[in-house]
Amino acid sequence: MDLASIIGFLGAVGMILFAMVIGGGIAPFYDVTSILIVFGGTFFAVMYTTPLPTFLGSFAAMGKAFMPPVKKQDELVERMVELAGIARKDGMMALEGQEVPDKFFSKGMQMLVDGADEVKLIAQLNQEIKAMKARHLENQLVVKAWVDIGPAMGMIGTLVGLVLMLGNMADPKAIGPAMAVALLTTLYGAFVANVMFSPMLTKLEGYTAYEVTYREMVVMGLGNIARGESPRNIQDQMIANLPPKLQEKLQAA
């Protein structure tokens, strides 16, 4: 669970709601017409931008902004060094059945056990990284569509409200509701883009970058094992991707 995502989102929403309450209550900021235009209209317009399976799958991807997979790079380095020592001492077959942190690592290690050389191993695993980046990008483009279309729907709602207002200038009672639609749709559109989805997109892009780095470290380590590098050399190469404090921790171990 990512506390920064949860606390940040709830805090932003809470501050907005608190400001509404002390400013006169939430009721003036609730309008069904505006909700239908912005939230309903954006939902279907975003669906229009992508195939249905991708659209539906994007909601699971959004959840990862709050509950991302936990993969620790320092633990990866430590395990890779242990496996390198086993392979150098007892051969690649000794890696059979060894525990590893994730499926990507497991697949690469099984390729070593099955006799794949360094070139084949690296090519296959890099292709998987490329495919993963493409999958993540598909979902991120859906989130970006929410960011782009939400404010646009807010502007459409504003124009709808203005048309209703100008068409009923003779009826003072109709001006207020029409003006509410005009203003609240802009507010809702800004909320959808800047509170709900823009921070989420940034978070997901960061997680993708972290996952790519993690997998590239796996490829580097397994490639070095295939080449017969010493555990110490493998560690020195892999920790270059880590922050200085983690580098010092591993070098001191």
Contact 151, 193 (CB under 8 A): yes
pLDDT of residue 243: 84
The pLDDT assigned to 116 comes to 87
pTM for this model (two decimals): 0.88
Query: What is the pLDDT at residue 140?
Result: 97
- pLDDT tens, per residue, the chain with 253 residues: 788 999 999 999 999 999 999 988 888 888 899 999 999 999 999 999 999 999 999 999 999 999 877 788 889 999 999 999 999 888 899 999 899 989 999 999 999 999 888 999 999 999 999 999 999 999 999 999 999 999 999 999 999 888 888 877 777 777 777 888 889 999 999 999 999 999 999 999 999 999 999 999 999 999 999 988 998 899 988 888 888 888 888 777 6
pLDDT at 246 (0 to 100): 80
129 within 8 A of 215, measured Cβ to Cβ: yes
- C-beta neighbour count of 165 within 10 angstroms: 18
Give dist(CA 108, CA 85) in Å, integer. Answer: 17
With CA atoms as reference, report the closest residue to 80 among 235, 186, 185.
Answer: 235
Structure tokens that stand for 30 in this block: 């609730």
pLDDT for position 215? 95
Measured CA to CA, the distance from residue 112 to residue 122 in angstroms comes to 11
Q: pLDDT by residue (tens digit) across 55-110?
A: 999 999 999 999 877 788 889 999 999 999 999 888 899 999 899 989 999 999 99
